[in-house]
Structure 1
Amino acid sequence: MKKILIVDDEPNIVMALEYTLKKNDFQVFIARNGEEAIAIAQDKIPDVVVLDIMMPKVDGFEVLNFIKKHKDLNKTKVIFLSAKNKEKDIQKGLDQGADQYLTKPFSMKKLLQEIDKQISGK
């Protein structure tokens, strides 16, 4: 079973993602801020992290940096899911190593397709 870490401080988004991903046979972990995300990522080694940028304590860019530098997480794919939808924000996320950048509001179908694409490597 593939492991997904959802990192977002918005409860409605977390609940919708968790429900849909579990229904699609993923093992789901939840972090509500960047500190939790780093701790869970180290412990669970997820296949994919769906990561918000604007969060309390540690933001998504810092979490991405940690994941990219941590040797045990070098195969983990990161998909930013953020309300920051300006071209410069998207480019910054991709430049820093995100595998994909989707903006809110988002299509659950498109997110699932992207997760499958990242996992399959196609």
Structure 2
Amino acid sequence: RTDDDDVLCRYKVSASPLSKQLPSLVLFQGGKEVMRRPQVDKKGRAVSWSFTEENIIREFNLNELYQKSKKLNKSKGDKLMQSKFPPVPEEDEPEQPGTPAEEGVVESKKDK
């Protein structure tokens, strides 16, 4: 058994030319299959479907998924930036309480 056979079996896709399941597009969200094209009937045959860019974008709702992904990544990125890089006070500004100072780095005006 080859790796290709394992993948075909795992995702329930037949490589037989009679099945017309190749190519197959499968959308996963949270590690679970949400939809696939072409759909497969009870006999294991693919339901006719036209693989055009427009159909793929519409059927898989890719524009909405893209917008949701951008928002999710932006909010994650904002949180990551806040936790990694706390605001640094300006030179003349007193340090805000609760702002962690850089450990081990002490710089005086003499060092400059």
> Smaller-chain TM-score range?
under 0.3
Structure with the larger strand share: 1
Q: TM-score, normalised by structure 1?
A: 0.19
RCO (CA 8 Å, sep 6+): is it higher in 1 or 2? 1
Higher-helix-fraction structure: 1
Q: How does the TM-score come out when normalised to structure 2?
A: 0.20
